[in-house]
Every structure is written in structure tokens, then in C-alpha cells.
Structure 1
């Protein structure tokens, strides 16, 4: 084939079309968030049976719920920079293998320590996948579709969470709470399916160019775009400013990137903490509002809430490209606070009142969820993109892990109403930080977003 140069003024990836390879990559990368949502949510159903059989006290119960979040913190913090150093492709399936092994090992749990340890390993693998899959997909996507496609990863995460509750409901209905080991081990089946989807993926051409591996980048692009690409086009994938700056992990903790790092991490925490509390302790929280603990009504209520998170993402996938990132995040925080407030003020309300406002809260929170992967992937250069996602994840999970550990203690210590008011406070914190620091990245090239901040610092 004859090498074809990109049209003048057009970026090879940012201004390019979606090809068959792009669609295949979307499916493969979506498998990771699906599995993440499944593995982090199935424990919410399994803990009821595990707690009874293993005799978990409130401390062990909190650790079992928070262990995966601690692992996620460590995995994302450590493996994000490794992904930037050795590449996205190599890490692409290794983390899934760890998920499969840890999930299958849950069949043999005999005490609380083993449960906590395996949930920690699952979290490590999930933490690795966030920076790997999102960075790889971001670096391949055209700018006009990038927000919706990266946001889709959050939607499919919620699909995984809902499937987890459906599987948990089916197993508990058929075999009782004693089926909790099979609930946790079922993630291995989905993990194997995702591993097969990921075979044949190409390395990120942006990462290859940043490492000076131009011929490999040209080959990957030619195969993905189904036409021969010139070396000159390949060299334009990374800006001169980015190449000269040579950003490292430490760059995330100082100017010009520190504000972006804190913005991504803290707002993600404010979205994730109430959400993870519902995913992990949904049945327990709902029982505090009067729904029968351990009954079908409670589990079905949890499924309805998870559907609310999912439904909320669907219009947001359009709004993120029409309204923009910043307005979407502002209004989702406003709505989340407004809908959570009545639950804090009237925790003794009837079941219909509780379910309506929890459902409205999940709609608003779900809309904001799609931004947690978009912002850290768009605001940082190729050399530290996975590190940025990993660090933002780690910051969010510090708060989420502490909060999730404290949920059962808070419910029993200060009560349901004050616990809900803490959630209101978190959403208001997220709103204030968004108003102060959020940037608009809609329909902008990754190169221009990086060049803008680096040029400002040089000037």
C-alpha cells in the first residue's frame, strides 16, 4: 500500500473517523469496567451470608467492604506509573489474570482474614485496570466522540454492578445466603471472557511516539485505520512542548498539574464515596430505613437503586458532548445534594419516600459518574496520563475506603439521618471545587490541552 498523509491541519487520531478497530477496542476496554463494577458490587450481596457464616464483627465487616478500595488505591497508585513506563498493552491482560485467580480462590475462604485478603487482591487488580484501559482508549479516540466513549466506561461499570446484584439475587434465592462463596467466585467467569476480548489489541501510538518508537506507532496506526500512514504524520501525535517537558509522576504533585490532580481526585472522591457506600452496604443501609433486612424487598430495592445510577448516565453521555464537561459536573452535584437532603432530614419517612429520593439521587450521581474517567484522561499529557488516572483514583479511594469502613459504624453510632447529611456535605464540597477549578475540555484535542498548560508555564 502507498503511504497516505493526513489532510492538512487534520490530526491523525483526534480528527479521524471511528473504524472497526476502534469499535473492537471500545468493547475490549469496556470489559474491564464491567468486571470492576461486578467484583466491587457482588460483595454487597455476599457479605450478608459471609458475615453470618464467618461470624464477622462490625470491624471485620467494615474491613471486608473497604479492603477492595484499599487495594484499588494501592494498585492505581503503583501500577499507573508502571503503565506509563512500560506501556498500556503489556499491562492490559495481566491485571485481569489477577482478578480471575483472586475471584476463583474465594471458593475456599474459611475465615474473615482470607476474605479481607482476597478482596484486597481484587482491588489491586481493579486499580491497575483503571489507568490502563482508560488511557489506552483515550489515546485512540477522535475528539468529537472521546467524551461519550470514555464516559461509556462508567456506564458499563454500572451495568457490571447491576449484573452482580442480579446474580447475587438469583443465587441467594436459589441456594440461600450460603451461596456467598459462589457469588464472589463468579467474577472469574466474566474475567476469562474479558481476557479473550483483549487479545490482539495494539499499543497506544501516542505512547509509542512519546517513547520515540515511530515505526511501531506507524504500523499500529496503519492496521487500525486500515491504510498506510506516513512517519511524518506519526511524529505529530505528541506536541513539541510535551516532548521537551518530559513530565514524570512527580510532575502531578507540583505546578502546573497539581491543581488538576487535586480537582480530579477530590471530585471523584465526592462522587464515589456515597456511591460505593450504596453499592457495598446498600442492603444494610436500606434496612436502616425500614426495609426488611435480608429479604427480597431489600435486595430488589438495591437493584432499583443501581438501575438509577445506570439510567442517569445515559442522557449524560449526550450532554457531555453538547453541554460540556463543566456544566454537567456542576449540575449533577447540585441535584445530588438536593435529592439526598430529604433523606437526612426525615430518615423515618415511609418506604416510598425513601426509595423515591434515593432513586433521584442515583440518577444525579450516575450522570456525574461518567466524568470521573474523562477528566483525568483529558487533562494530562501522554507521558503521565496513566499516572494521573492512577493518582486521581488513589485520592478518591483514600476517602472512599475510609468512608466505606465508617458507614456501618456511623449508622450504628450517630444514626441514619446524620450519615445521610455527611453525604450531602460531600456533594457540596464537590460542587465548590468544580466551580473553582473545573476546565472545559469538550471537543479539544489532547495535544492542545497539554500545550495550553505547558505554554502558560513557560510564558
Structure 2
């Protein structure tokens, strides 16, 4: 798979699997954009700013639990089965959210929506890395994770229209936002039916005949699409096939054999999760409550921020494959942290209005977005294939649980306390990002353009890896 030239088949993988991040961006942005509306009694919910933060925390908690449950099942049952199940769960839960009639029901729906999205992270990232050639893995992974922000921009624009009471009643527009997200998810489901199972997973789990047939079919299709003949394969790896791998074995390998990599994964996830979830779940409240931006205009400010976030991974992504993982990841984390400190100082001095605060956020998150995307890339590369989905799930769950649940809860209260408290929250986020960058300098693994089996030999390998198909 690593020797295949880029072809139309790879674009099908990118579209079928990568679009889930657009859904996540849409979900998070809709909540951020409509948060002011949900605090109004006319919305039918009448949440407080603290309850908005709680709703965000509940969503993240669902994502953490979902990632662990579905991540384990992804390694056990296969990539394809789980990325279909998790998308269906998301669809059902987000449609149910549109019919929320009280805060408790709303929180429950947000929990299961998050569970579906969290499960997607484990299933999708593991499948992408196992299907995309090594020389393109960095830029593709970053671009796909960065596509979250296309959903964010779409959600912001959509919210402006749906929150306009000239078009929709106050208790109707925000409900339609969740319904439209489900429609997009249904389109993704139709495309995803054509994405195959990972042949790496199939081979290790004793389905070598199916894996060989699948790879041969892909090779013929790529040769047909590119007009190029593939070079013969000389390297090999011997595998002891098994139908399942115990959870105890997964934990022993991940934390006993690779403790430094575990510290690295946690550091990267905690830093980016606190920063992003803290800022973006409550950004509309900062604009409306502290900077006097009208509630129906607040979503417009997210559009340039979202585009800056998308531009970062896309424009910097190739450097992660050429310059290398360690300098780029460390640079993006530390650079964004320093820029956020400067933004916090200006915000505290009250020299930033809504427009200039947005400009500062654009610059900060141009670099932070590339760093955050690289966190998913890192943990999906540096652990053995049998543990890949579970490793993604664990580091996402723990890192996001610590940073993503605490962040929104803190910021929901900070907004109620004023500019000084919010600034303190920015400093916390900056410190965590800088610390993660320092950890990357000392513990980072250089995985650029290397086969996954060369970065971490499969648990089932009978001898050291010398190559892979």
C-alpha cells in the first residue's frame, strides 16, 4: 500500500473518511454560534452561560467515552464496521437534539452525539493511516483533520441565517441547524459505503485471502488510473495471525513498551483540547457578553477564524513530511502558545475590539490548528497496528477529558466573571500548548515518510520489520 502512487482511489478514501471532521466542526460551531440564543427564554430552553459550558462538557464527555468503547471495538471488529456504526449513532443523536424540550433532554442528546463523533476519531484515523501511502500520510492526515474548520465555517454561516428571526422563529432556527447537520451526515454515509476495510487489519486477524484480494484489486485500479506499472515487492514481514487481542496485551504494549510515547501523546492532546474546547465552545459568549456584539452577528466572526484554522494544516502540512514531525509539531505548539499570551495581554488591556480579537485568534489558530491536527497524526503512527485505534481513543479520551471538559466548564464561569477571568483562561491554554511543544522536542518520534510497521512493529510480528507491502 505504501508504494502506490497517488490516484483517484485515494481521493475516494479522503472524501469517504475525512468528511467526518466537517461534521464535528459543524456540531461544535453550531453550539458556539447559537449559545447566546439558547440562553434566551424564547428559544424554548433558556440555558444559563454556565449550562452552555456544561452542555459543551457533556458533549466532550460523550466523545471521550465513545472513543474508548468504539476504539476497542475498532481494533477487535475492524475499521469499516465501526466507522459505519459510529456515523449512524451520530445521525440519530443529532436529529434527536433538534427536538430538545428541556435542558436534561438536550444534555442527553449532546452526550450521544459526542459518543458517535468520538468513536469516529478512532475508527477513521486508524483507517486513514493504514490506507494512505507513507510519503503522503502527514499532509493528508493534517488536511483531513483540518477539514473540521470547513464544517466550522459552514456552521457559522448557517447559524447566521437560522438565527435571523426574520426567517425563523426563535425556537425553530437552532433546531433546524441540527437537522441540516444530519442531512450532511447522511450524504457522508452514502459515500462511505465504498471505502474498504484495512487490509493490514484483515491480514493480522486471519483474513489474508480477503486482504490479498483487496490489495490486488486496489493495485490494478491504481495502475489503470495512473497508467503506471507498480514496482515488484521484495520486502516482507512474518505475522502470527490471531482473531482478537486482549485488552491487557494492548495496555501492556502501549504503556509498558512505549511509556515515553504515551507521555508525548497525552501532552499533545491535553494542550490542544483545553485550548480549542475552552475558546470555541464559549467564543460567542465572549463576543456578546463582554464585547457587546449582537447575538445574530456573532457567528460571522467565526468564519475568518475557521478559514485560518483550515489554512494552517493545509499550507503547513507538506512541511510535516519534508522538514519532519518533531520541528514542525514543536514549532506549531510553542508558537501558538506565545501568540496566545500576547493576545491575552492585549485583551486584558482592553485594546482589542471584536474585530481585532478575531484577527489575533486567526493568527494564533493558524499555527495551533496544524499542531492540534498533528496530535491525531502522532498517536495514530507511533503505536503497533493492533493497538492503533485504542491508542487514538485513549489519548483522545484522557487528553480531551482533562482539557476538553475542564476547559468549557472553566470558561463558562470565566465569562460570567469578566475580561480578567477570561484572560487568565487564555494564559492557562497558552501554558499547556507551550509545555506540549517542549515535550515534543525531547520525546518526539520522527515518523515522516516511514512505513507504519517501521515506526512500531506489530505485536503479532514474528521478527523485526524489514518492510511492508
Do both share a fold (TM > 0.5)?
Answer: yes
Instruction: Give the corresponding residue for 1:444.
Output: 450
For 1:391 and 1:192, locate their aligned partners in 2 and report how far apart those are by CA, in whole Å. 28
- SS of corresponding position for 1:82: helix
For residues 379-390 of structure 1, what are the structure 2 equivalents within 5 Å?
A: 379-390=382-393
Q: 1:93 pairs with 70, 75, 84, which one?
A: 84
For 2:236 and 2:407, locate their aligned partners in 1 and report how far apart those are by CA, in whole Å. 41
Instruction: Give the corresponding residue for 1:265.
Output: 266
Aligned pair 1:113/2:114, yes or no? no
Q: 2:404 pairs with 370, 387, 400, which one?
A: 400
- 8 Å CA contact 2:411–2:422 kept in 1: the answer is no
Instruction: Give the corresponding residue for 1:76.
Output: 67
Instruction: Give the corresponding residue for 2:7.
Output: 19
For 1:140 and 1:72, locate their aligned partners in 2 and report how far apart those are by CA, in whole Å. 24
Select between 361-370 and 15-24 the one with higher mean Cα deviation.
15-24
Instruction: Give the corresponding residue for 1:175.
Output: 168
For 1:57 and 1:415, locate their aligned partners in 2 and report how far apart those are by CA, in whole Å. 18
Q: 2:150 pairs with 144, 156, 159, which one?
A: 159
- 8 Å CA contact 1:46–1:183 kept in 2: the answer is no
- SS of corresponding position for 1:451: coil
Inter-CA distance 227–238: structure 2 relative to 1 (3 Å threshold):
farther
Shift of 1:259: 2.3
Instruction: Give the corresponding residue for 1:10.
Output: none
Shift of 1:454: 11
For 1:361 and 1:129, locate their aligned partners in 2 and report how far apart those are by CA, in whole Å. 27
Inter-CA distance 239–405: structure 2 relative to 1 (3 Å threshold):
farther
For 2:236 and 2:162, locate their aligned partners in 1 and report how far apart those are by CA, in whole Å. 49
- 8 Å CA contact 2:206–2:241 kept in 1: the answer is no
Instruction: Give the corresponding residue for 1:190.
Output: 184
Inter-CA distance 251–161: structure 2 relative to 1 (3 Å threshold):
farther
Shift of 1:46: 2.4
- 8 Å CA contact 1:206–1:238 kept in 2: the answer is no
- 8 Å CA contact 1:242–1:450 kept in 2: the answer is no
- SS of corresponding position for 2:19: helix
Q: Structure 1: give runs of 5+ residues left out of the alignment.
A: 1-12
Instruction: Give the corresponding residue for 1:5.
Output: none
Shift of 1:242: 10
Shift of 1:293: 4.4
For residues 38-437 of structure 1, what are the structure 2 equivalents within 5 Å?
A: 38-52=26-40, 53=43, 54-173=45-164, 174-175=167-168, 177-178=170-171, 179-226=173-220, 240=239, 248-251=249-252, 254-287=255-288, 290-296=291-297, 298-347=298-347, 348-351=350-353, 352-398=355-401, 399-413=403-417, 415-437=421-443
Select between 86-95 and 175-184 the one with higher mean Cα deviation.
175-184
Higher helix share: 1
- SS of corresponding position for 1:39: helix
- 8 Å CA contact 2:22–2:152 kept in 1: the answer is yes
Shift of 1:96: 1.1
Shift of 1:448: 0.8
- SS of corresponding position for 2:98: helix
Runs of 4+ in structure 1 displaced over 4 angstroms? 233-243, 452-455
Q: Structure 2: give runs of 5+ residues left out of the alignment.
A: 224-231, 465-469
Aligned residue pairs: how many? 440
For 2:198 and 2:346, locate their aligned partners in 1 and report how far apart those are by CA, in whole Å. 51
For 2:458 and 2:71, locate their aligned partners in 1 and report how far apart those are by CA, in whole Å. 24
For 2:71 and 2:106, locate their aligned partners in 1 and report how far apart those are by CA, in whole Å. 26
For 1:227 and 1:365, locate their aligned partners in 2 and report how far apart those are by CA, in whole Å. 38
Inter-CA distance 180–14: structure 2 relative to 1 (3 Å threshold):
same
Inter-CA distance 415–199: structure 2 relative to 1 (3 Å threshold):
same
Shift of 1:251: 2.7
Shift of 1:69: 0.5
For 1:288 and 1:335, locate their aligned partners in 2 and report how far apart those are by CA, in whole Å. 29
- 8 Å CA contact 2:60–2:400 kept in 1: the answer is yes
Shift of 1:336: 0.8
For 2:423 and 2:89, locate their aligned partners in 1 and report how far apart those are by CA, in whole Å. 39
- SS of corresponding position for 1:108: coil
Shift of 1:417: 2.1
Select between 430-439 and 251-260 the one with higher mean Cα deviation.
251-260
Shift of 1:353: 4.0
- 8 Å CA contact 1:209–1:238 kept in 2: the answer is no
Instruction: Give the corresponding residue for 1:29.
Output: 17
Instruction: Provide the alpha-carbon RMSD of the alignment.
Output: 2.7
Q: 1:219-250: CA deviations, max 9, x gaps?
A: 11122222799xxx99977655998x968331
Shift of 1:64: 0.9
